[in-house]
Amino acid sequence: MSDILIGGVPFLALSHRDGRFIRLAGLFAFARREPSGIYHVLHLEMTEVIARDAGPAHGRWGWALSVGMNTLLVHGFGQPAILAQDPPLDWETVTWHPEARVNFLDDEEVSEADLSPLLAGDRARKGR
């Protein structure tokens, strides 16, 4: 079982520049791994091709680097994952940066903040 969970979904940690090797649809998160081993999420996004979207051309890449991004967390859709039986939907082993964004839809009228409770319970809004 993965020890990196966001909203109950397991993620794999890679170097922040290794997204170019992941040619799958899925979720990716720009993150900062703290010395304690905890991952601090800076940006979370769903994409059709991680290799295409999780790199230096991304609009949040520069900002994420400026706040210490050193890790790319990935979850490939359709990949097998071992989960605990009946995990809560807000089960997380990460923390969130106060300026973290969540982008699951291309519709600009939907605020990323509107989606964060779906991912992380109230934790994302309250900054826990």
Mean per-residue pLDDT of the chain: 80
pLDDT tens digits, 41-100 = 999 999 999 999 999 999 999 999 999 999 999 998 877 766 667 766 667 889 999 999
Distance of CA 103 to the CA centre of its chain: 10
> What percent of the chain is modeled with pLDDT above 90?
45
In 3D, which of 50, 54, 7 has the Cα closest to residue 30? 54
Backbone angles phi, psi at 123, to 5 degrees: -55, -40
Between CA 40 and CA 127 the distance in angstroms is: 11
**Coil vs helix vs strand at 114:** helix
Whole-Å CA distances, 102 to 27, 105, 111: 10, 9, 9
